[in-house]
């Protein structure tokens, strides 16, 4: 679901950057009053959490892969606005340092997963969880459905963005300039994997994290955004860092699933690369493309190195 550079036209990228920019602006305005609360430290925790979760690739039929994102969990704890920022930070770091998603398409990826995904997740969760106690099982079910709905909403948007490219942007002979997949191909190809494997993974992740928070610090589930830290109160995000650290140690498992996610192929994977895709795909070269630093021979260890680098960045943000 990370759209690479070249798959979307410049005008599509600009429009989606504008939509994402509007979402970021509103999110920053909404959390401005919470800058001295737990919201900012928790944004860094969930940015790291989302990054690590996306390292666990799951095999799909046809030799492709998919992964969970952590959309619902971030939205449930931080509210939609904090969730937008946390996921956007994770997506930006992935694109800039590891080439997972493009620079020109960062606005599209953030719009799909961070902006729309967070709004869908929080809306569904609030509707289904109601005013039940934080320890109620209903909250776990609500989180699972919210996770499933949010990742599939994001996948559907990505499929539509792919699918409109050949119809709107082609040369005089009708040859697509960017993504060559029409809606009739993009929507089934994207949605089959997300309605089944990736959606189920996101649902289980969301329910599991809510259950974990219910047993460790249910105060994070009382509202969409957490309350200010009181004097002498323990900082619950430290326990969340432990969970993120454990996931980091398990990231080599993400290399067991071989294959690339549908629609995330590099330009040289095409027998005849569309002209616009070829041009835009060369705009940015990530320092550690595909989470594979040149100085690391083991793919699994490379995953650990890259994940640890991401955690250092988020930890610095946390302590600032």
Query: The domain containing residue 104 runs over which residues?
Result: 10-319
Report pLDDT for 231.
42
Report pLDDT for 111.
98
**Residue in the structure block whose two tokens are 């953030």:** 110
pLDDT digits (tens, 9 = 90+) for 228-253: 444 444 555 666 777 777 777 777 77
Give a yes or no: residue 4 inside a domain: no
Give a yes or no: residue 5 inside a domain: no
Report pLDDT for 224.
43
Give a yes or no: residue 3 inside a domain: no
Report pLDDT for 311.
66
Q: Angle at CA 139, nearest 5°, toward 227 and 131?
A: 65
Report pLDDT for 225.
37
Give a yes or no: residue 194 inside a domain: yes
pLDDT digits (tens, 9 = 90+) for 176-192: 999 999 999 999 999 99
Strand partners, 256: none
> Based on the structure, what is the number of domains in the chain?
1
Give a yes or no: residue 72 inside a domain: yes
Give a yes or no: residue 152 inside a domain: yes
Report pLDDT for 37.
59
DSSP labels, 61-110: TTS-EE----HHHHHHHHHHHHHHHHHHHHHHHHHHHH-SS-STTHHHHI
Give a yes or no: residue 1 inside a domain: no
- Residues 266/263/109/66 CA torsion (nearest 10 deg): -110
Q: Angle at CA 153, nearest 5°, toward 258 and 259?
A: 10
- Which portions of the chain are predicted below pLDDT 50? 224-233
Question: What whole-number distance in Å separates Cα of residue 15 and Cα of residue 280?
Answer: 16
Report pLDDT for 226.
42
CATH number at residue 240: 1.10.1760.20
The structure's pTM equals 0.89
Strand partners, 65: 59
Give a yes or no: residue 306 inside a domain: yes
Report pLDDT for 233.
46
């Amino acid at each position: 679901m990370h759209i690479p550079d070249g798959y979307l036209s410049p005008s599509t990228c600009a429009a989606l950057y504008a939509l994402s920019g509007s979402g970021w602006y509103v999110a920053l305005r909404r959390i401005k009053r919470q800058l001295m609360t737990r919201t900012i430290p928790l944004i860094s925790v969930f940015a790291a959490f989302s990054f690590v979760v996306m390292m666990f690739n799951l095999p799909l039929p046809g030799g492709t892969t998919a992964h969970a994102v952590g959309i619902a969990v971030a939205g449930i704890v931080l509210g939609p606005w904090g969730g937008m920022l946390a996921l956007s930070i994770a997506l930006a770091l992935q694109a800039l340092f590891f080439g997972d998603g493009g620079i020109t398409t960062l606005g599209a990826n953030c719009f799909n997963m961070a902006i729309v995904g967070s709004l869908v997740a929080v809306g569904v969760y609030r509707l289904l969880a109601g005013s039940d106690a934080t320890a109620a099982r209903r909250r776990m079910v609500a989180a699972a459905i919210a996770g499933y709905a949010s990742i599939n909403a994001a996948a559907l948007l990505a499929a539509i963005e792919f699918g409109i490219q050949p119809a709107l942007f082609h040369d005089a002979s009708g040859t697509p300039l960017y993504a060559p997949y029409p809606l009739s191909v993009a929507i089934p190809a994207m949605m089959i994997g997300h309605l089944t494997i990736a959606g189920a993974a996101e649902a289980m992740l969301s329910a599991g994290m809510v259950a974990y928070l219910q047993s460790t610090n249910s105060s994070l589930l009382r509202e969409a955004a957490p309350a200010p830290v009181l004097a002498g109160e323990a900082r619950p995000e430290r326990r969340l860092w432990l969970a993120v650290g454990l996931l980091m140690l398990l990231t080599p498992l993400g290399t067991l699933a071989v294959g690339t996610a549908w629609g995330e192929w590099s330009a040289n994977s095409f027998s005849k690369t569309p002209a616009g895709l070829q041009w835009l795909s060369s705009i940015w070269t990530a320092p550690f493309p595909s989470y594979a630093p040149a100085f690391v021979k083991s793919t699994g260890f490379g995953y650990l190195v890259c994940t640890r680098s991401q955690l250092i960045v988020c930890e610095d943000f946390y302590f600032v």
